[in-house]
Each structure stands twice: as structure tokens, then as C-alpha cells.
Amino acid sequence: MTWWDMLVPLLAAAVQSGTPILFATLGEIFTERAGVLNLGVEGVMLAGALAGFLTSMWSGSPVLGFAAGGFFGAGLAGIHGLVCIAFSGNQVVSGLALTILGIGLADYLGTPFIGQSAPGFVPVPIPGLSEIPAVGAILFRQDPLVYVSYAVPPLMWLFFRNTRWGLRLRSVGEYPHAAAAAGLNVSAFRWAGVLVGGFLCGLGGAYLSLAYTHLWTSGLSAGRGWIAVALVIFAFWHPGRAVLGAYFFGGVMAFQFRLQATGTHIPSSLLLMLPYALTVLVLVFSSWRGRGDRAPAFLGVNTEPAE
Amino acid sequence: MNSPFRIVKREAPLGWGVCLVISGAVLFALGIGMGMLSIQGKPPLSGMGLLLQGAFGSRWALEDCVGKAIPIYLCSLGVAVAFRLQIWNIGAEGQFALGAVGAAWAVYRFSALPGWTLIPLMMLVSFAAGAFWGLIPAFLKLRMRANEIIVTLMMNYIAVFFLDYLVYGRWKDPASFGFPMTPTFPESAVVGRIGGTNLNWGLLLCVVSGLIIWIFFRHTRLGFELKAGGESLQAARYARLPYENLVVLVMVLSGGLAGWAGFIEASVTLNRLQPSIMVGYGYTAIVVAWLARLNPLYIGIAAFLLAGLRVGGENLQLEIQVPAAFGEILEGLILLSVLASSFFIRYRFTPRRPS
């Protein structure tokens, strides 16, 4: 086997295992662009994974499950909106609490289903495109959810860049006082940011239980939500760079699994460390280069309640 | 905005009303928990009763609560010190793990020493190990401007896998029949029990460190600077406070205290190192620190109550088969509702005058 024969399946696996991270990263970018920091991604993802899994198991429809994951994610993120937007609570602490709640919910409701399986998504090659050498095998022999994920970054890019609503949402994150003075309803835009972002994070979770594995285990998200939060900084809040980051991390995760499967002499705990150590490195590198000042100026800052 | 009320910032502090608001929020969260029980077809009221009784209903249960509160308290005290300076140290879990590893290293390296030297040595090494794990994110924050929330969090995962690596490999007890655990500690490495009770001397460590931190914030110049630095970074920079040094100090203390929690758990609870030492005390510590508004005394109370939630949750699992994660859900709910309720501490509603 040549290195080329090994590289193509590895890249295909990178796209697959990067997809849940991509959904979550895009979700968090959307939320943060509106000026809300939601550190609950890990919890929202895990709860979305469970909601997707249970819905698919009971209804027999993975499509319904995927949607359920998104809506449950949005609902859970709504709690964050309630605490931070309506009651101006501390965004950092609320997000952490949301993670604790989401992990707790997934453990509490999911325990009876550990090891059970649900109908999920299987790869569907796209006729024609999948025949392109290398690229076809990497990008177009995936499951339908991956194809859905291809559409999200360009749509988000267009939304932020070319639509009135996108510009308004960004202005709420950059300078809410000016936005309010211009007559925008700051809270409404922040709510939209939190709910849509939560929806995308929930989709990322549902991807894990419906396409990545087809069965339920506890701790399915394994820190991917946190990696997504870090990738937002790496991506400088741009959907395009998020794709890059997510597939890179998907690649690292896929590589680490493959290496374990070959029975190397490196202990598995050290291999498992790899993605997290790399996250720190990537974060350090991008904060050092980008100097962190590309964040929306009012990220994490609550606005005073209206009088 | 046609609501009949206006939201106005409170000029005077609320005083005892704060207690009322917070207990109201906790009750609200417990109410939601009861709702969840009844949806699952479990009796909500007697379920809560079983939770409380399991946590605080007997001498054995109370001692168990204190035992679990000790590591939570130490982690939380450390987390609170960092939060004072608005440094978001989410890494108590990893610093705890490294503290346990440090303590175990001291035991296996110097196992021949008598208890009165071995235990202080374990304390020293575990503090240093935890502090080291706290210094890395401090350094990356100051030099590379890397967000400490993510770095400390990722370092939790790294620390836990490092502990696994030792326990499954290098330090595995050859006589453990393949179970991932290290050899048991000698008698001289085990922190003793207090009198005829089931409580260990780790309690004293909590009281002493709590007092020191309290005095530090209340009566020393450095402690005052720290508080000032946390309240307004801008003002602190104007006053030329040594911000970088404060960050380093805070992370050393924070990590070291969490390291001590790991030392107590390894020494008292398990007498060895094994993966089950990681039960999320480091994350609960964040909840505790915030509920206690970063005050060392209140942290003690909150640590005890949240330890009760864990102990009571175990009882609930035993008696009516509710998964122990129920306690975790309550933890999240309580924190969220207390956070939301703080709105009523800062603002009040006044009726809108008809105009």
C-alpha cells in the first residue's frame, strides 16, 4: 500500500469526523457574532445527540431525529438566553452551568439506552461527483448529513456579508448601544443568535449519534464542544476558516483512531491526549497571530435592561 | 414597552433580601427537579425526601457529606481566588488530577519515610504539581494571549489521560489482576481520622486554608490589590498594580489548592491511584464558588450542600432507581436559577406612573 492509498481514506474520515465539530463551531460563531458567549456547547451537543438518538429510535426516522437534535439544542440554549439576555446573568458562568445541565440530562435520560442502537444515516455516493479521482472519495461518498453541512458555511457567509439581517446581527455584537440607538431591538437579535447557534450545535450532537455512531454511549461528545469553542477563535469568527479548523481536527481524531487500530506501541491514553493538546497549540498560535482582537467587541457583555 | 413596571437599578444593597432571593432560586430549581421526577413516574415529594434524608439524615450520611465536601472545598477555594481576579480557571479538575499524581509519586519514591515526613512531602509535591498545571495557562494567557477558559479546560482532558497513562501502564500494580490501579499506599501515607469519627484531617486543611485566604483578602495589601484588579482591570492598570504577577500568584494558589484536594482523595479515600478518582469535583467546585459568591466561609456551606446532593443522589439511585446524574442536573439547574435570580438583587421593579 502506498502513502496515497492511506491518505485518501484518512481525508475522507477527517471530513466525516470533522462534521459534528463543524456544525458546533458554526453554531458558536453565529451566537458570538450577536455578542453572546455560550460556553454550553459541550452540554448542548450531548443533549442534542441524545434527543436525536431517542427520536430516531422511537420514530424510526433518522431525519426526524436530526431535526429533533437541533430543536432540543435550541431549547437548551434558550435557557442560556433566558439567564443572560432576559436576566443579564454572567455569560461565562451560565454557559458552564448549561454544560453541567446538558451532560447531566444526557446521563440521566440516556442511561437506560446505553449500548442500544437507532436507525441512522449511511454513506450515499453522489452519482458523477463521487467518480472524480481522490476528491470524489473524500468529499462525495459521505452520508447525507455531511452534504447538508457543506451548505451551511457558504450560507452563513452570505448571510453575514450580504443581507440586512446579517449586518444587523453583527452590529449587535460589535456595538449594541449604536444598534439600539439606530432603533434595532438588541435583545431580539441576541435571542436569534443564541437560538440559531444552539440549533446548529444540537445538529452537531445529533450527527454524533445518528451518523458517526449508530448507538448510544455515555460521554459521546468527548470534549468536541469545547474544541468547537476553541476553533471559533482559530476561525477569527469566519465560517470559512471554521471549515478548515473542523476538518483539521476531524483528521487528527481519525488519525489517532487509525493509529490505535494498527496496534502501535504508543499507549492509547497518550494518543487520546493528542486532540486536546493540539487544541491548546492551535489556540495559542491563533491568539498570538490574531491577537484576539478580531472578536466581536461586545462579546460576553450584557446590555442593561431597558427602562 | 408598555409593561406596567419599570426596571430600576437598586441604589441601596439588598441586605438580608439576598438570602431570600437565593433560597427562592434554589427552591425553584428543586421544584423543576421534582417535576422531572414525576414525569419519570417517580414520587416527587418523597423522592426529594429520600434525597435529603440520604444526604443529611444520619450521622453516617453527614460524615460522608463532609468527606466529599473536603476536596470540593479545596478546589472551590482555589477557583474562587482566580475568579476574584476575573481569571476564569476552569481547570480545577486537571489540577486535582495532577495533585493526586504528585502525591502518589512522593509515596512511591519515598515509601520508606515515616508518616510525619512523608505526608508533608506529599502535600508539598501535590501542591507543586497542581500549581504547575495552573501556571501553564497563566503563562500562555500572559505571553500569548490565549484564552484561559479553553486552555484550562483542555488541560483537564490532558491531565486525566496522563493519570490514565500512569495507572494503566507505568505505575500499574502487577498484583492487581489487570485492574487499572497502582499499589496501595503504605500506612504512613494515609491521612488519619479525627478522634472516633469517620472524618479525616483534611478537614483541618480546609479550615486553615480557608482562614488564610480570608485573611489574605481582608487584611493584606496584596489581597486588596487582587480584589481591585478583579473589579476593574482598567483601574488596576492605571494604579500600576502588578497585574502579571497577580495572575501568576492566583494560578499558583488555585492550582495548588486543587492539587491538595487530589492529595486528600488519593491518600484518604482510595489509598492509591485509580481512574475512579475523577468524579468531577473540579467542575462542582465552579458551581460552589459561584453560589458562595467567592466567600471562603460560604464556600464551606455550599460545598457541604452540594456534597449532600451527591450523597443524596446515590441514595435516590439505591431506593427508587433514579440515575445518579439527577444530582448533576440539580446542580446545573440551581446554578442557572441563582444566576438568573441575581437580577432581582441588582434591579427592582417600580410601578409605572400613569402619564
Asked if B291 reaches chain A (Cβ–Cβ under 8 Å), the answer is no
Q: Which of A225, A20, A212 is nearest to A103 (CA)?
A: A225
* pLDDT average, residue stretch A212-239: 91
Interval B75-103 mean pLDDT? 95
* C-alpha distance from residue B38 to each of B31, B48, B330 (Å): 11, 11, 15
| The three cell numbers locating residue B84 | 476574584
- Would you say the C-alpha torsion B173, B175, B178, B179 has a positive or negative sign? negative
User: Residue B349: in which H helix or E strand, if any?
Assistant: strand B347-351
Q: Which residue has the cell 499507549?
A: A267
**CA of residue B80 relative to chain centroid, distance:** 9
Compute the average pLDDT of residues B1-22: 76
Q: Among A4-13, A239-248, B271-280, whose mean pLDDT is lowest?
A: A4-13
Within 8 A of B286 by CB-CB distance, chain A residues are 93, 96
pLDDT of A123 above 80: yes
In the structure grid, which three cell numbers stand for residue B162, read together? Answer: 496522563
Q: Which residues pair with B351 in a beta bridge?
A: B5
A300 lies in a domain? no
Residue A102: C-alpha distances to residues A46, A198, A216, A232, B28 (Å):
7, 12, 15, 21, 18
pLDDT, average across residues B239-252: 87
Q: Are A94 and B336 in contact (CB under 8 A)?
A: yes
Residues in chain A: 307
Enter the C-alpha cell of residue A107: 446521563
B27-39 pLDDT, tens digit per residue, is 999 999 999 999 8
Q: Report CA Rg, chain B.
A: 22
Per-residue pLDDT at B1 exceeds 60:
no
**Cα B280-A230-A40 angle, rounded to 5 deg:** 50
- So what's the pLDDT on residue A307? 44
Q: Which of A96, A272, A276 sits opposite B90 (nearest CB)?
A: A96
Q: Nearest Cβ partner of B147 from A97, A104, A287?
A: A287
Question: Residue A257 CA to chain centroid, in angstroms?
Answer: 21
Asked if B21 and B27 count as a contact pair (C-beta separation under 8 A), the reply is no
A296 within a domain of the structure (yes/no)? no
Residue contact B8–A307, C-beta within 8 A = yes
Name the residue among A90, A98, A287 with its Cβ closest to that of B144. Answer: A287
Q: Which of A274, A284, A294, A299 is the best residue to mutate to test the B interface, defined by the most B CB atoms within 10 Å of its own CB? A: A284
Could you tell me if residue A171 is inside a domain? yes
| Residue whose C-alpha cell is 449508530 | A214
The conformation of residue B347, written as its DSSP 8-state character, comes to: E
Mean pLDDT of B185-213: 89
Q: Which residues contact A134 (CB under 8 A, 6 or more apart)?
A: A8
Chain B (315-334) residues lying within 8 Å, Cβ to Cβ, of chain A: 322-323, 325-329, 331-333
Provide the grid cell at B136: 501553564
Residue A131 located in a structural domain: yes
- Comparing CB atoms, the residue among A79, A226, A273 nearest residue B150 is A226
Mean pLDDT of chain A: 91
- Give pLDDT tens digits for A149-197: 999 999 999 999 999 999 999 999 988 888 888 888 899 999 999 999 9
% chain A with pLDDT above 90: 64
Per-residue pLDDT, averaged over A126-134, amounts to 87
The pLDDT value recorded for residue B113 is 87
CA end-to-end distance (rounded Å), chain A: 70
Does residue A302 fall inside a structural domain? no
* Per-residue pLDDT reduced to its tens digit, B108-124: 999 888 888 999 999 99
Checking ipTM against 0.85, whether it exceeds it is: yes
pLDDT digits (tens, 9 = 90+) for A252-288: 988 888 888 887 788 888 888 989 999 999 989 888 8
Q: Cβ contacts of residue B36 below 8 Å, gap of 6+?
A: A108, B326, B329
Q: Does residue A120 carry a pLDDT above 60?
A: yes
Question: Of A64, A65, A62, A38, nearest to A51 (Cα)?
Answer: A65
**Whole-angstrom distance between the N-terminal and C-terminal Cα of chain B?**
14
Cβ–Cβ < 8 Å for B147, A233: yes
What proportion of chain A, given as a percentage, has pLDDT over 70? 97
Q: How confident is the model at residue A12 (pLDDT cuts 50, 70, 90)?
A: very high
Dist. CA B99–CA B264, nearest whole Å? 9
CA distance B150 to A96: 12
CB A43 within 8 A of CB A229: no
Cell readout for A16 is 466525516
Say if A303 falls within a structural domain. no
Which amino acid is present at A179?
A
Residue among B88, B147, B339 minimizing CB distance to A89: B339
Total structural domains in chain A?
1
pLDDT at B234 over 80: no
For B8, the enclosing helix (H) or strand (E) is: strand B5-9
Domain that residue A208 falls in: 3-289
Q: Give the DSSP per-residue string, B228-275.
A: HHHH-HHHHHHTT--HHHHHHHHHHHHHHHHHHHHHHIIIIIISS--G
Of B154, B331, B341, which is closest to A100 when you measure between CB atoms? Answer: B331
Give the pLDDT confidence score for residue B222 in this predicted structure: 82
Tell me if B88 and A223 make a contact (CB, 8 A cut-off): no
What pTM did the predictor assign?
A: 0.92
Q: Is the CB of residue B90 less than 8 Å away from at least one CB of chain A?
A: yes
Which pLDDT band, with edges at 50, 70 and 90, does A291 fall under?
Answer: low
Which chain B residues in 226-285 lie under 8 Å from chain A, judged by CB atoms?
283
What the block records as the C-alpha cell of A46 is 450531548
Name residue B347's beta-bridge partners. Answer: B9
Task: Give the residue-averaged pLDDT of B334-343.
Answer: 92
Whether the Cβ atoms of residue A143 and residue A123 lie closer than 8 Å to each other: yes
Helix or strand holding residue B5 (H, E): strand B5-9
- The CATH number of whichever domain residue A222 belongs to comes to 1.10.3470
> What is the least distance, in Å, from the CA of A279 to any CA of chain B?
7
The pLDDT confidence band at residue A302, using thresholds 50, 70 and 90, is confident
Least confident interval from A33-42, A121-130, B13-22, B164-173: B13-22
In this structure, what is the dihedral angle of CA atoms A157, A161, A164, A168, given to the nearest 10 degrees? 90
DSSP state of A228: H
Can you tell me the distance from the alpha carbon of B120 to that of B252, in angstroms, rounded to the nearest whole number?
18
Q: For B140-181, what is each residue's pLDDT tens digit?
A: 999 988 989 999 999 999 999 999 999 998 888 888 787 888
Please count the residue pairs, one from chain A and one from chain B, whose beta carbons lie less than 8 angstroms apart.
151
pLDDT for residue B40 is more than 80: yes
Chain A residues with CB inside 8 Å of B88's CB? Answer: 92
Written as nine digits, the cell of A196 is 440559531
- Take residue A36 and report the three cell numbers written for it: 453572546
Residue B11: count of CB within 10 angstroms of its CB: 6
Could you tell me which of A300, A164, A302 has the C-alpha nearest to residue A232?
A300
Average pLDDT score over chain B: 89
Considering the domain boundaries, does residue A7 fall inside one?
yes
In a domain, A305, yes or no: no
Interface test with chain B among A100, A194, A283, A293, by most B beta carbons within 10 Å: A100
Whether residue B354 has pLDDT greater than 70: no
